[in-house]
Structure 1
């Protein structure tokens, strides 16, 4: 079941020795995580992949970097490998050629160039090799445990329990969905249960829309307790999402190995 799969995922996330760990509070490290996840999102849109495949790729990306250092493995290629693998896991596979063409298009657009990717060129061969190698590294580090449960799946049920107004329900769900998508650019997805991230996103959406949710002031439990979520966990997730909005635009930085 889901709980046994979750415990397997947790056991596959044994941390690195402290001296090899990336510093979560280092803005350059955080920026590279954001950059890699934005690459996945942009490629996913151009490849017309469903959001579940993009989210699965982003979780794989974060799980990989929970065990390996950003200084050793280039985010540009791990993001490629994660998306390629996730498209297969979520049963919407894309061809290597299509993924590499989209990757090239995004890289060229960022650099202000327009050079197409010739599938018979050395550059294409080298890029394909990096993609296949990245996929292999991800599979090795994740121990072939590819199960992923996303916060998105809880939104509608939670929102239906919190408001009866159909219009508000839709607005609240849409805003929460957007906050969840933003959260995937940080590694909260491997630090907190999906239910917690869903609650944090609903709470932020309610604040933006100025919707009052049951807070427990009238003697009943606060709404987040209905979903087995603790306020301090919810606050921690909100803080990480909010921090995204004050960061400068993410760009690739070549990190030096320690």
Structure 2
């Protein structure tokens, strides 16, 4: 940090002439035009919004017990940032929180990120996500726009120097006069004068305004100003109207932390000829309404975009089905492969495997996408509205979880029925006995191919839904699961695949049910369901799953009793040791991902036990 204002980055990069500042603001306004094209109602960066930001900073700082210098630095960071970026492109509450966090570090008043984020969430729970990474991203975004030039010089030190100089000339200012000047400087951060004038000029202006308001002789101040060769009247005149208006409004807010010793000072200030008084309570309410209205417009556009995406999926899937069915009915035998099972054994109701099964999988990928989009459009979204869920993010999460309950309830029910009727019901030995299992009945083959199609469909949906924090873990999970489904089917390990799918599906039902209860406002029942989900996760995904994994590693080779006879049919695939090894590695990698999720589940459980509410820490903004 430079020891001199004249050599600092404050003067070199953040000190403008009025035309330069106007040009910067014009560039920001020009960048906002693209927001108008999508129907967003722009929030003007005017005096009302500045007062709102000022009061919001004070609200958060009061919770943290911070010094005034930190608030001033925060407000100046925001003012600088908004000369390069639009207020409509950022979350204003995240901007305030991140700038305050940066100011705490710059002014050597460090506050732990967990503390500042927790207090910000308590102040604005709807707008601050429970994610340290989001705050860190916002901090780096601000630093990038400010080009890491975070040095700030404030008028407070100059004010003290002026007071000392006047005292040396036997022109001692009263404590009340200094306090009033200090308060005027505090309020001046709601203006642009800190971008236009040097700190000592602003300090002179504050003394000048305070002296004029109190009827004190201005002669010593003018003499001192003349000696410094500074045109203080220019800055005083430029900021007087705004400062007076803000001061007039502040007297109506006794709950605001302002450094004013008595109301007489405010009365004298408001007696001066200024513009129409501003009520800060009215400004705060009006500005918040503008922010909410702007956010509502953004949500409307997101709803329209989401509906358009679902509509396109429905249309594309319908066209695909029309093409397939039309070609089938005109006698093209190829298209029959899309909706009928292939490789049926003669004279028995059992099936083998082959490449043509991929057409059946493609057919169900498309139709699962169709079913999902249709249910979202005509059932799940109206249901969300009926439950009072109006925000876009919350609605999207609701419909995703409702679809999960719908599909996994059916798949697990059908899968458990087949498991109950199978020879390997609670018998791991029979999972591998009599391998290869190349005679699948119609129900089992249909179930397994649709489950495989579902995971490929999930892979597509993963890139349609809003990303969670663990997007890449989910992506890895889906890739491994798809490989396991295809590999187990190809090498006749369908029984072990069947058991693994049962372990997975039931847990997904309990998780989605807990989330739906949360969205419905049934927090107590949600916490109970979360406990049931956690129990099912541990038992099925770490208990049963790991037992099956160990059994496959330790005993599968002996039970399978060597290599299969490739002469049974020309399509038979005989296993080798490396087939088992790859299968075990994929199962183990899936367990590693689930262990990572288990860690996150434990974090939520600790929060519930300590009195908090169960929230999905994977989500981008689950509180919405």
Rounded Cα–Cα distance in structure 2 between residues aligned with 1:223 and 1:238? 20
Shift in alpha-carbon separation, 1:214–1:27, aligned structure 2, 3 A:
farther
Which residue is 2:78 aligned to? 61
TM-score scaled by structure 2?
0.35
Rounded Cα–Cα distance in structure 2 between residues aligned with 1:243 and 1:83? 25
Select 1:210's aligned residue among 211, 215, 230: 215
Post-superposition offset of 1:239: 2.5
TM-score scaled by structure 1?
0.78
Question: Structure 1: which 5+ residue stretches go unaligned?
Answer: 112-121
- Asked if residue 4 in structure 1 is aligned to residue 7 in structure 2, the reply is yes
Rounded Cα–Cα distance in structure 2 between residues aligned with 1:194 and 1:11? 11
- Asked if residue 35 in structure 1 is aligned to residue 49 in structure 2, the reply is no
CA deviation vs aligned residue, 1:48-104 (integer Å, no higher than 9, x gap): 222222211111110001111112223211111100011111111111221123223
Post-superposition offset of 1:19: 5.2
Shift in alpha-carbon separation, 1:67–1:123, aligned structure 2, 3 A:
closer
Task: Answer whether contact 2:193 2:235 (CA < 8 A) is retained.
Answer: no
Post-superposition offset of 1:139: 0.1
Rounded Cα–Cα distance in structure 1 between residues aligned with 2:26 and 2:171? 49
- Asked if residue 21 in structure 1 is aligned to residue 29 in structure 2, the reply is yes
Select 1:94's aligned residue among 111, 120, 126: 111
Rounded Cα–Cα distance in structure 2 between residues aligned with 1:74 and 1:191? 27
- Asked if residue 200 in structure 1 is aligned to residue 205 in structure 2, the reply is yes
Which residue is 1:139 aligned to? 143
CA deviation vs aligned residue, 1:158-212 (integer Å, no higher than 9, x gap): 123346365x432211110011011112232222211221112111211232211
Post-superposition offset of 1:124: 1.6
Which residue is 2:245 aligned to? 243
Q: Which moves more between the two structures, 97-106 or 26-35?
A: 26-35
Rounded Cα–Cα distance in structure 1 between residues aligned with 2:14 and 2:229? 19
**Structure with bigger RCO (C-alpha 8 Å, 6+ apart):** 1
Rounded Cα–Cα distance in structure 2 between residues aligned with 1:9 and 1:232? 22
Rounded Cα–Cα distance in structure 2 between residues aligned with 1:27 and 1:68? 13
Which residue is 1:226 aligned to? 227
RMSD: 3.1
Shift in alpha-carbon separation, 1:233–1:133, aligned structure 2, 3 A:
same
Structure 1 residues 169-180: aligned runs within 5 Å: 169-180=174-185
CA deviation vs aligned residue, 1:114-168 (integer Å, no higher than 9, x gap): xxxxxxxx9422xx444222211210111000100001111122123346365x4
Question: Structure 2: which 5+ residue stretches go unaligned?
Answer: 33-42, 249-276, 299-624
SS at match of 2:89: coil
- The structure richer in helix per residue is 2
Post-superposition offset of 1:232: 1.9
Post-superposition offset of 1:35: 1.5
Task: Answer whether contact 1:206 1:213 (CA < 8 A) is retained.
Answer: yes
Task: Answer whether contact 1:64 1:141 (CA < 8 A) is retained.
Answer: yes
Task: Answer whether contact 1:81 1:135 (CA < 8 A) is retained.
Answer: yes
